[in-house]
A = this chain, B = another copy of it.
Amino acid sequence: MSETASSSPASRRSFIRQGTAAAVALPAVVSTLVACGETKATAVPPKDPKPATPPPPSAQQKADQMDAMHEKGIKAFPAKTEGKGNQLMEPKMEGRVKVYDLAAEELQWEVEAGRKVKAWAYNGQVPGPQIRVREGDRVRINLTNKLPESTSIHFHGLELPNDQDGVPFITQPPVKPGESYTYEFTVPNAGSHMYHSHHNAAIQVGQGLLGAFVVEPKRPLAAHKAEVDYVMVLNDGYHGYTLNGKSFPATEPVVCTQGQVVRLRFMNEGMMIHPMHLHGMHMTVIAKDGWDQPAPWKCDTLNVAPGERWDVLVKATNPGTWAFHCHILPHAESEHGMFGMVTALVVKPAVA
């Protein structure tokens, strides 16, 4: 019924149009990076008492240097990094119970090529593994806490019995370092939900203890049929501005073929709003927090607030590589080029 975007990075890159701007010599880029403070002072005295000072770059050269940085980022997309979050997790079956083992532990997470950050993660992924079940399924979550502080899991959006709600000292004791804790419930309501820590959460969620919990409905609506089903977790905490745990150009493009329908499930696990803007085609909003809207409505910029989930359908009518980014521009672009909450919707031409 649905599949996650899965073409290889190499084939994705071919969709990025080759820029026609003239190539820029590497030293120009390097000298710009020098201006950004990335070199160190040297103690070696100059041999020539009157060294030839290079002339300052002209306006044209400066523009070329800036463009080269911009081009470099785009050409690198999707850049290879270590680790991939939000991967679909297969449950173990114990009788009719779907069992998910989640271990929370500290690790280094590569947000973009060469930039590693401290992360607290489930099963080594930021976001944690994607749990995707069906309304009415019996589910067991075994949480093991390998962190230096207590934790818990709240299933954000699921209408569970109170003792499965995951709030320490209200519905359960905290899960201490080294301990395990088991949640078990029958999945009550369909939709795009999340799971995340509810203990010291501003810090624990900010560092990566979060994931998607998608519940397929027992009776899916024909109007919601989609060939691609893509979860996009937005974040803006300790790891910077990220989509599924990565910053552009290390983000993952959403890939489809002309004529297909793409379902996007936006989930905001950050502290700020992110108005996600898709170029070239509109989005049809069908659900909020897992609940169908009374009537679908269209937009090209969807404001996603912390804790919210919004489901949209995109009818991929318009072939090409389309920028897709947060429209708070400082979350998406600097003088050094696009970064952060930027990806692309790649619509491959339908083959006749």
Residues of A at the B interface (CB closer than 8 Å) are: 16-17, 19-21, 59-60, 62-64, 66-67, 70-71, 74-75, 148-150, 154, 156-157, 159-163, 165, 167-174, 176-178, 189, 198-203, 205-206, 271-273, 275, 277, 279-282, 288-291, 293-301, 303, 305-309, 318-323, 327-330, 332-335, 344
Contacts and interface: CB of A to CB of B under 8 A. Distances in A.
Contact of A173 (B20, B170, B200): B20
A165 B178 CA distance: 53
21 contacts: A16-B170, A62-B148, A63-B148, A63-B150, A70-B200, A159-B282, A162-B322, A167-B323, A171-B320, A189-B282, A201-B332, A201-B333, A202-B329, A202-B330, A289-B298, A289-B300, A291-B299, A293-B297, A294-B294, A295-B295, A301-B308
Contact of A67 (B167, B174, B299): B174
A74 B177 contact: no
A63 B176 contact: yes
Contacts of A301: 289, 305-309
Contacts of A306: 275, 301, 327-329
A64 B334 CA distance: 43
Nearest to A296: B294
A277 B306 CA distance: 10
A162 B319 contact: yes
Given A288-B298, A295-B295, 6 more contacts: A63-B176, A67-B174, A171-B320, A202-B333, A303-B308, A307-B327
A202 B149 CA distance: 39
Contacts of A293: 297
Contacts of A20: 172-173
Contacts of A169: 17, 19, 21, 70-71, 74-75
B296 A165 contact: no
A263 B166 CA distance: 25
Given A157-B300, A297-B288, A322-B162, A19 B168 contact: yes
A75 B170 CA distance: 9
Given A19-B173, A275-B305, A327-B306, A168 B67 contact: yes
A172 B60 CA distance: 19
Contacts of A288: 297-299
B327 A165 contact: no
A148 B271 contact: no
A275 B269 CA distance: 12
A168 B70 contact: yes
A64 B159 CA distance: 30
A60 B297 contact: no
